[in-house]
Amino acid sequence: MKRKHFIKSILGSTLLMSMDGISTFANAITMQHANNASHSDEIASFGAIHLNNTSIEKAISFWTKVIGMTLRNQTNSIAEFGTENKTLVVVHQTASTAFREGYSGLYHFAIHLPNQREFAKAIQRLLENKYSFSPIDHTMSQSLYLTDFDNVMVELTLETPERFKRVITEGGLFIEDTNGTIRSASAPLDTEEFLQTLTSKDHSSQISKEAKIGHIHFYAQDVALNNAFYQKLGFTQFNFFPQFKYADLGAGGAYQHRVAMNSWHGKNKPLAPSTHAGLRHYHIVFKSNEELQKAITTMDLKKEKDGNFWTKDPTGITILLTHTH
């Protein structure tokens, strides 16, 4: 599936996709989530996403006004955005052209919001800015899809793994939730229900300090190779469907969609040139030095600098590896 048609077609998607937290292409697979699973059980989280963009000025407008982040630092060519206590996105004005299809690299990345109120506030910000977005209910998550000024796709996500029970593939692609309700894997999301929960004091332009980078989704040159790489790093398999050119993995918690990959753009496509807007590198933060050391021993190519490790996945995407101090 071509990326530029994603937003338009996702509402009607009934097959071929496993979009953000959805297990597909299995016959009535039942997924049981441990009641005590939490983010504290996960082996790693994400640090900042670094992007090549074409304009610092436009980046400031998008990330502060539309997304609600704080401008934390700025130079002539770099701008850092995030919450009051952490950086989530770093923009480098190094691209000369917008994101273009047909290359491997970033598909999209997701900013996860901590609760329904903050998710509703994100909807309100988009509406107030008259910014186009697609609201989708994946059952395991509820999502808002949009693109920035360079056509880089961003997802705003509310994790809801407690709602997810199983996938049903007879007669199409459907998800059964824990209440027995069956819906499309990518069902329309009723944003009005969220907006009705807001009060006048909730109309804040600032994103929650608990917002985080929650998952990242790639165009991979080879799904099987990338999937094996992230397993070696310690991520746990959720879906692996090579016949459908898709896989995703969790980090040990109830929400099992932390790293995803597809080759819907075509297998063995080259990595996007650095002059194109898109991913520059991203950051995995292991919960302990022990977990970090376990991960780096599995890698053939790595470079240490100032106690941090740099590597590339099989597609060529650059990753910074550190651990929580």
User: Cα torsion for 89, 46, 108, 196, to the nearest 10°?
Assistant: -80
Tell me the pLDDT tens digit for each residue of 166-176: 877 677 667 78
Q: What is the mean pLDDT of the chain?
A: 87
Residue 219's CB is within 10 A of a number of other CB atoms, namely: 27
User: Which domains does the chain show, CATH number per domain?
Assistant: 3-323 (3.10.180.10)
pLDDT exceeds 70 at position 294: yes
Average pLDDT over residues 129-152: 96
> Exposed/middle/buried for 189, CB within 10 Å: 0-12, 13-18, 19+?
buried
pLDDT exceeds 70 at position 145: yes
The Cα–Cα gap between 160 and 164 comes to: 8
| pLDDT of amino acid 169 | 64
What percentage of residues in the chain have a pLDDT greater than 90?
A: 70
The Cα–Cα gap between 221 and 171 comes to: 31
Average pLDDT over residues 291-317: 89
- Residue 31 pLDDT level (bands cut at 50, 70, 90): very low
- Asked which of 26-40, 41-55, 155-169, 224-238 is least confident by mean pLDDT, the reply is 26-40
Average pLDDT over residues 246-270: 94
SS3 199: coil
This prediction has a pTM of: 0.88
pLDDT exceeds 90 at position 150: yes
If you search the block for the tokens 């699973």, which residue do you land on? Answer: 37
pLDDT exceeds 80 at position 43: yes
| pLDDT of amino acid 39 | 63
The Cα–Cα gap between 61 and 201 comes to: 23
Beta bridge partners of 92: 52, 78
Helices (H) and strands (E) in the chain, counts: 6, 20
The Cα–Cα gap between 22 and 8 comes to: 19
| pLDDT of amino acid 172 | 62
The Cα–Cα gap between 58 and 141 comes to: 29
